[in-house]
Structure 1
Amino acid sequence: MSAADMASGTDTASAAKMAHGAQQRLARMLEYMSKEQLREFLLRLPDKDLCQHSTGATPAQPEEVGCMEVASCLVARYGGQQAWDLALQTWEQMGLSELCARAWKEPAMKSGIKEKYQNQRRERSCLTQSWRNEYLHQKFTQLLLLHRSQPRGYDFRLRRRRNHEVADEQGHLMEIGDLFGQGLSTQKQPPTVVVHGVAGIGKSTLARQVRRAWEEGWLFKDRFKHVFYFNCRELAQSETMSLAELITKDWGTPDASIGQILSQPEQLLFILDNLDELKWDLKEQRSELCPHWSQQQQVHTLLGSLLKKTLLPTASLLITARITALRRLKTYLKHPHWVEVLGFSESARKEYFFQYFTDEIQASRAFTSVESNPALLTMCLMPLVSWLVCTCLKQQMEQEQPLSLTSKTTTALCLHYFFHVLQAQSLGTKLKGFCSLAAEGICQGKTLFSPEDFRKYWLDGANISTLLNMGVIQEHPTPQSYSFIHLCFQEFFAAMSYALCSTVLKSDRFNNIKFITDLTDVYDRHDLFVEPTTCFLFGLLSDQGMREMESIFKRSLSRKSHSYLLQLAKSEVLENHLSLDPYSWHLLHCFYEIQDKNFMKNIFTFNDMRICVQTEMELLLFTFFFTFCHDIKRLQLNAGGQHRQAEWTYSVFL
């Protein structure tokens, strides 16, 4: 036998061995899928007849095809590397984020396949078209980040505030690469960075971007040897866990032993995303607890030990939380640094549109249409709103309709998206039950729902499949559960339940007045107006919102709920006016959503105001509010945040 023949035989054997290994690994991943998921997986493949030749099965009968058979057919048809690529793309399209994450930890993905797949992602000029995709915004537009010594109270006060206090609150803008830079602080302690902001502003996407940028080697590569990402929403499913198990949950089987990884904690970064979604009180945790990394602990004890630096005190932390949760968190964090996400600048909003649409002409048409609606353009500073707007406009293009979005409030945009784009009313009588399910979750602090939770509201497997296909919910395979693709969407549907005065937790104690008491039970009176559910409720009880609701549910709505909600808001304004006069931006957002001009004319009677505006959204809210301040004599408006580069203080005597 010649040397060439021997080399050829060796190559063939090597290739066969690699193909067999890829087949085994792929089959192992497919085993995590349910039969229904496997059916959908096969139907999404380009070659829908992939497994027919060997088994006689049809796409409608995928249960007759085993996972090993599917893996074998994929590898035989596409080769090991392309089979992995195709499987990952399909899982992403199905919203199986946990399965994608698990696959990325496979040795095959840590080598050439992973590098190739990352390069393909970087080369894509268009963002993935589904918010539920874990890797949305791979070419994520730069967010405005504001570092300050203390988080601002998300309210502004009338009088009783000195000029230097306003200036001090403005902070300074920073880049993502400065989150753990030397300029962040002169303190020697390892930093705990708290990335905070309003709902939908891009906090979680930023956290995932940090992890991904570190993996790709262009962010913090010299600072951290290991970066671990944990979604606290998913961790809430677990009761007990050791730190070793927590790390394995994120990394699969690490390249080094857990003990070796943790031996240099100063080179570790733990990202705790959505920390505010964990419903436990840090005050109940004993600060002296310092469990060993191998010791089983309750999840809240384990995370509490990381936060308080009683476990791995020299490790760095990156935490994301809504701005409304900071009061609860700030007392218990060790030397935190506060970074507020302000959203997109106007130029970044335009950049986002050109990333979403692959065709420059389409992108230009879409952005021009939004520019004709200044309120909507302003709201697009929130990445979630930008995505909703682009998705709505994309559908209009596909249907060859004139490009037009008249929405001026977040609630109006969500109504358009869910009921004109997704046609959620196709759920029929089950829609009300779905809203009640969302409200139950809000009442109980619950974001993950089991199939039994759905059945409690007469939602069966077919209804769940419909919601999955719409992209309203996403599936978590182990254990099988579902969540809304964004917490804001759960809060929107919960608000619909309250607007309908639907029963929650199968209780008949709610009526068109008392339903608001349930919200105060959930948030307490002080926090009621800072929650997105309440803000959506104001929007749904506006004149436009009620008309839409009546059309969707084919029933009349009482205006008593509208009147009672405004009366409650008026009480909030009057009570606070007597004590240091805090007028919350969140409360103004509620007033903006309901757009009740008659109410606004008679509620604000002060004559002196000094405020600091950080974002264009706040400027929009203030402009709406100021229209009705007929008695004001003196106004001082300070700009910061988005306007920091053109800093100004504007005083007017009227």
Structure 2
Amino acid sequence: MGSTSGANLGKKRKLDNRLSGEKHFVDQHREKLIQRITMIPPVLDNLLQEGLLTQEQCDTVNAKETPQEKMRGLYQFSRGWSIPDKDIFYQALQDSNPGVMEHLEGTSLSANLGKKRKLDNRLSDIGEEHRESMKEKFLRIPEYNSRMGEAVHLKKRFTKLSMIKGHKNKEEKVQELRSSGRRHVQIMEKRFPITIPALFDPDEEGFIPKIVVLQGPAGIGKTMTSKKIMLDWASGDLYKDKFDFVFYLSCREISTIPGDISLVGLLSRTCRLQSLDDLVSILKDRGSQRKLLTIVDGFDELRWTLEEKFEGCPDISMETHKEIILQSLLRRQVLPRSSLIITTRSLAMEKLKPFIDDSRNVEIQGFTRDDREEYVHNFYGNKEDADKVLSIIKDNEVVYTMCAVPVTCWIVCTVMKQEIRKDLALIQCKTTTSVYLLYLEVLLTHHSKEEQSVRQKQTCLKKLCALANQGVLNQQILFEKKDLERHGLSLDEVESVFLNENIFHWDVRTQTCYSFIHLTVQEFLAALYYGMDDGSGSMEGTSLPEICKGKSLHRFRSDSSHLSLSVQFLFGLLNENQVKTFSDITGIPISLRAKPAMLAWATKDINKTFPTPTIFCLYETQDEDFIRSVMSRCSSLELYGSRTDHLWMNKNYSMQLNYCLKTLKRESFQSLQFESLIVGPECQKLLSPFLHRCPKVR
């Protein structure tokens, strides 16, 4: 029994030596073996039989007088042996001197247990250090337009979002989008809401995901949710028993990495551990029992440059191209036992699919009715002010609907916060463009440098709009100093509230990049570029703005989806009344001279179909003559949605459709057909005057 136990311990020792990289047992205990091994002839016979020693070498060892001298002689011949050879040597010693070997094995086992306790204690200290640093990092976060030193408490400001669990293939998604009426409602009701704590819970079939994808449009709250997960975990309020270590990766920061990097180097950007060795000890394979979670925030912001498919990089310390490292992490070729949360805009889901499989897909839908009220109360912290603003928002259904998107809710609250002491009934927020014009007005009148003249503000705004336009056309959201200089922007001007400064820390240096406070603001300023009066953005009446790609608005959406919101803003800027109000208050003239060209572009290729984005663009103008000129080109209307429509848009769409249809004369159309659009009771009531007078409705 003793011999068997010793053999098992020996096998374990061999395995441990190989995994840990330590010295082999016979080398580690060389001196003790020389002093304690007495039965040497059987060892020599065994090694002779295995071919490790020649007869001459055995005779040389046997010629020694004492056992100690014989063992020293034996060790002389073992210097060139491989690990498998030393395993044979070990087994020969074990067979001939089991008592000595078991004693040394026991001593080593105790030492290893001691080392393990020390390692566990050290990992516990590292974990506490990591948690504390993450709490410090994510406790207070800057808002979109906050200046240096300004931040809000994440826990106080964060409002939960409505999230729906979905795991559908492409065909199922098409079916959902094409359904209408009660059928669509039934499909949506089958999807149960999910909370952040339940993201990794088993489903009805017992499936526990290793990868969770949080998807949604820009400004829906994906990054805020990621940061809240980090803060709650670090505070011990979330995933306490699920994950020992949670790491955060910003794809916006990853895009700025100039050269090769390792996974350890990538994670060290945000984890803030004092020693890089501590991070290595967390990630190493021999610590695979530790439960790790990595949050990859903003997958859609990555700009992939490698076209070929490369093999993965399973080595956490090997430096290679950042895209190879990231692909290896997403494909779980490195840290295969760890879990992932990936956030992305819905339009980038197709790009993400090749990298992952067997994931849990969750759609962030934004604020519910109660969530919006909670957000407004959290924003103001004053019940009287919050209730006053809520009453204004609720009176305008369009704005109230848009406030389901957190960034829009924030913009509306920011705009109204400046006017809280005035007559709020005077504020007009009918369209998306009007909301952003009001927001820009607040920035120019309340947050820009006081010493700047109107002329200086106008010059700076022109340059920023030119930068925004170039970025939108090239799908660029991060700008370096040279990009700013190319548009004549100085660093002093960059200190305005229009751009954020992003400082990225590398091993021996830092890199500074600049971005607009949010992508939607960049898209708005890109449209404004074509309306800056007497500047490079102004257009002659026969010239079409560059962002209006393609032959017509009707065919625009399919090939240039990244320009769609900017084009929608462009149509909104055709409204002379709201643009004049903005100019009167700020002193900055805006004149979109391309109205005739845009009307021709909007009416070209019209037969009878109107996709959702066309209705959005027409509604933004708030110009009945313009809308009538476009929609009266056909006697029949076929209105259909698109794959990128979101649930919150449907009510908004019906109201915008109602506004556009009101511009038509009674005899303007003979039939009306809805395709892939919800026409529920509320929408039917709103459209009832047109539905009743239309001879043919489908």
Per the shorter chain, which TM-score range? 0.5 to 0.7
Query: If the length of structure 2 is used for normalisation, what is the TM-score?
Result: 0.64
CA distance in 1, matches of 2:132, 2:269: 23
Q: Does 1:191 align with 2:223?
A: no
> Which residue type is aligned with residue 138 of structure 1?
K
- Residue 274 of structure 1 corresponds to 298
Please name the residue that 2:491 is paired with. Answer: 461
Cα deviations by residue, 1:524-552 (Å, 9 ceiling, x for unpaired): 86242464323322322344455467666
Q: Which moved more, 1:423-432 or 1:320-329?
A: 423-432
Greater Cα offset, 601-610 or 238-247: 601-610
Name the counterpart of 1:176: 196
> Does the C-alpha gap of structure 1 residues 203 and 587 become closer, same or farther in structure 2, counting only changes over 3 Å?
farther
Would the alpha carbon gap of residues 443 and 130 (structure 1) be closer, same or farther in structure 2, given more than 3 Å must change? Answer: closer
Q: Tell me, yes or no, if the aligned pair for 2:567 and 2:617 is still in contact at 8 Å.
A: yes
> CA contact under 8 A between 2:310 and 2:324: conserved in structure 1?
no
**Which residue does 1:303 correspond to in 2?**
326
Take 2:620 and 2:174, find their aligned partners in 1: how far apart are those partners?
18
TM-score of the superposed pair, with normalisation by structure 1: 0.67
Match for 1:392: what amino acid?
V
Task: Check conservation: 1:450, 1:481, Cα contact below 8 A.
Answer: yes
**Is 1:512 the counterpart of 2:539 in the alignment?**
no
Q: Is the 8 A contact 1:393 1:403 kept in 2?
A: no
Instruction: From the superposition, tell whether residues 247 and 610 of structure 1 become closer, same or farther in structure 2 (CA, over 3 Å).
Output: closer
Residues 253 and 511 of structure 1: CA distance in aligned 2, closer, same or farther (over 3 Å): farther
1:349 paired residue number? 372
TM superposition shift of 1:286:
1.8
Counterpart of 2:416 in structure 1 is 393
Q: Which runs of 5+ in 1 are unaligned?
A: 1-104, 578-582, 644-650
How many Å apart are 1:433 and its aligned residue?
A: 1.1
* CA 1:321–1:570: 2 relative to 1, 3 Å: farther
After TM superposition, give the deviation of residue 220 of structure 1 in Å. Answer: 1.6
Residues 1:491 and 1:634: Cα distance change in structure 2 (over 3 Å): closer
Indicate conservation of the 8 Å contact 2:299/2:344, yes or no: yes
Paired amino acid for 1:411? T
Q: Which residue of 2 aligns with 1:427?
A: 457
Give, in angstroms, the shift of residue 232 of structure 1: 0.8
Equivalent in 146, 149, 153 of residue 167 of structure 2: 149
Quote the Cα distance in structure 1 between the aligned partners of 2:638 and 2:493.
54
- SS at 1:271 equivalent: strand
Could you say what secondary structure the match of 1:142 adopts? coil
Aligned-pair CA distance for 1:293: 1.0
Aligned pairs for 1:406-421 within 5 A: 406-421=428-443
Query: Percent identity of the aligned residues?
Result: 26
1:363 aligns with 2:386: yes
Residue matched to 1:473: 500
Query: Deviation at 1:242?
Result: 0.5
Aligned partners of 1:262 and 1:502: how far apart in 2? Answer: 62
| CA distance, structure 2, for counterparts of residue 220 and residue 494 of structure 1 | 42
Q: Which residue of the other structure, out of 570, 591, 596, is the alignment partner of 1:557?
A: 591
Distance (Å, rounded) in 2 between the aligned partners of 1:308 and 1:326: 15
1:138 aligns with 2:155: yes
State the secondary structure of the residue aligned to 2:193.
strand
Could you tell me how far apart the structure 2 residues matched to 1:131 and 1:587 are? 35
AA of the residue aligned to 1:593: E
Deviates more, 1:305-314 or 1:613-622: 613-622
- The CA distance in 1 between the partners of 2:305 and 2:181, in whole Å, is 35
1:489-504 equivalences under 5 Å are 489-500=521-532
CA shift, 1:633, in A, is 6.3
Secondary structure of the 1:297 match is: coil
Change (3 A) 1:365 1:180: same
Alignment equivalent of 1:538, drawn from 557, 561, 571: 571
Post-superposition offset of 1:435: 0.8
What is the aligned partner in structure 2 of residue 605 from structure 1? 636
Deviation at residue 615 of structure 1 after TM alignment? 3.5
Structure 2 CA distance, aligned partners of 1:311 and 1:556?
Answer: 53
Distance 1:589 1:538 in 2: 9
Q: CA deviation at 1:593?
A: 2.5
| Contact 2:144 2:518 survives alignment (8 Å) | no
Deviation at 1:107, TM superposition (A): 11
* Separation in 2, partners of 1:337, 1:349: 27
Secondary structure, counterpart of 1:200 in structure 2:
coil
Counterpart-to-counterpart distance in 2, 1:360 and 1:634: 43
Q: Quick one: distance in 1 between partners of 2:466 and 2:550?
A: 13
1:569–1:334 Cα change, 3 Å: farther
Distance 1:300 1:113, change over 3 A: closer
Q: Tell me: CA distance 1:265–1:605, structure 2 relative to 1, closer, same or farther (3 Å).
A: farther
Closer/same/farther in 2, CA of residues 404 and 535 from structure 1, 3 Å limit? same
CA drift of 1:473 comes to 2.7
Could you report, residue by residue, the CA deviation over 1:166-206 in whole angstroms, capped at 9, with x for unpaired residues? 74466332212222221287546x43222121221111111
How has the CA–CA distance of structure 1 residues 163 and 439 changed in structure 2, closer, same or farther, with 3 Å as cutoff? same
Letter in structure 2 aligned against 1:632: L
CA contact (8 A) 2:312 2:325 kept: no
**CA spacing shift, 1:297–1:151, aligned 2, 3 Å:** same
Deviation at 1:296, TM superposition (A): 0.9
Question: 1: CA distance between counterparts of 2:464 and 2:223?
Answer: 25
CA 1:628–1:441 in structure 2 vs 1: closer, same or farther (change >3 Å)? closer
Q: 1:382 aligns with which of 373, 392, 405?
A: 405
Within-5 A mapping of 1:86-235: 137-139=154-156, 140-150=158-168, 167-168=186-187, 171-183=191-203, 186-187=206-207, 190-235=209-254
Conservation of the 8 A alpha-carbon contact between 1:433 and 1:458: yes
Amino acid across the alignment from 1:217: G
Q: Identify which range, 472-481 or 234-243, moves more after superposition.
A: 472-481
Is the alpha carbon distance of 1:215 and 1:166 closer, same or farther for their aligned partners in structure 2, counting shifts above 3 Å? Answer: same
CA distance in 2, matches of 1:237, 1:532: 26
Aligned-residue Cα RMSD (Å) equals: 4.6
Whichever residue aligns with residue 605 of structure 1, its letter is S
Partner SS state of residue 391, structure 2: helix
CA separation of 1:623/1:390 partners in 2, compared to 1, >3 Å: closer, same or farther?
Answer: closer
Report the AA paired with residue 271 of structure 1.
I
Say if 1:462 and 1:546 are closer, same or farther in 2 by CA, change over 3 A: same
Q: Which residue of 2 aligns with 1:485?
A: 517
Structure 1 distance, partners of 2:550, 2:673, is 37
Letter in 1 for 2:458: G
- The answer (yes or no) to whether the contact 2:637–2:672 under 8 Å persists in 1 is yes
Deviates more, 1:401-410 or 1:237-246: 401-410
> More relative contact order in 1 or in 2 (CA 8 Å, sep 6+)?
1
C-alpha contact 1:570 1:603 (8 A) present in aligned 2 = no
Partners of 1:364 and 1:410 lie apart in 2 by 23
Q: Alpha-carbon deviation of 1:118? A: 9.7
The verdict on how the C-alpha distance between 1:540 and 1:637 changes in structure 2, with shifts beyond 3 A counting, is closer
Q: Structure 2 counterpart of 1:248, which letter?
A: S
From 558, 568, 573, the equivalent of 1:526 is: 558
> Helix, strand or coil: the match of 2:493?
helix
Distance 1:514 1:558, change over 3 A: closer
Task: Report the CA distance between 1:458 and its aligned residue.
Answer: 2.1
Measure the CA separation in 1 of the matches of 2:672 and 2:373.
Answer: 36
Distance 1:386 1:181 in 2: 31
Q: In the comparison of the two structures, how many residue pairs are matched?
A: 521
Distance 1:331 1:361 in 2: 51
Whole-Å separation in 2 of the counterparts to 1:120 and 1:249? 18
Compute the displacement of 1:444 (Å).
3.0
In structure 2, the gaps of 5 or more residues are 1-124, 449-453, 505-509, 662-668, 684-690
Residue 481 of structure 1 aligns to a residue whose secondary structure is strand
Preserved CA contact (<8 Å) 1:585 1:618: no
Question: Do the aligned partners of residues 364 and 546 (structure 1) sit closer, same or farther apart at CA in structure 2, a change above 3 Å counting?
Answer: closer
